[in-house]
Amino acid sequence: PSKRLESTTKSPIFELFGSALTGVTTIRGFDKSHSYINALYTKLDDYDMATWHLWLFNRWMGWRMSIVGAMFSVVVAAMILADAEMDAALAGFTLSFALDFSESVLWAIRNYASIELDMNAAERVVEYSELPTEDQGGEEPPAMWPTEGRLEVNDLVVSYANDLPPVLKGLTFSVNKNERIGVIGRTGAG
């Protein structure tokens, strides 16, 4: 969960940065640089907090695994001391193996956790690939379409998902040929 939280707090930073780069002239024109900087600081604080908790969790896990490894080595050392007939070379080999084993277990658990955390990206790809295809609907245009550079939209209703309310309701407009239009609004504004 902490890696997922770190990943989800990173994407708003990129989104804000991308929108700021795209609209830098508008931002400067309306003197809204401070608003974007404050929003960026807020998103960076969220990301830093998630990253800090992820780092703390990794340190905590490493410390716990080191304790388990040390306990394993102490148990092996106690068993070596309890066996009076054990050869010194075998005792040294066994103790060395116990120390290496605990380190190998720590390495294996860290790698497993890292792989599990890195599978978030693959999980998202699978999730997006299983989304149902949106209905293209509409009518087939005539074979000679378009005949002139005119665009006409009547009663357009659009929502982000089937179960969400419409964000555009009954939008009607027309654009004549050689006209230029602009659509203004931030990402997600509808």
Average of pLDDT values for 111-128?
80
Predicted pLDDT at 187: 66
Predicted pLDDT at 155: 93
pLDDT in tens, 61-113: 888 888 888 898 899 999 999 988 888 899 999 888 888 887 888 788 888 87
- Dihedral (C-alpha) 163, 165, 169, 175: value to the nearest 10 degrees? -60
Residue 41: pLDDT band (50, 70, 90) is very high
Residue 186: pLDDT band (50, 70, 90) is low
Q: Which residue has the higher pLDDT, 1 or 15?
A: 15
Average of pLDDT values for 37-63?
90
Q: Answer whether 31's CB lies under 8 Å from 68's CB.
A: no
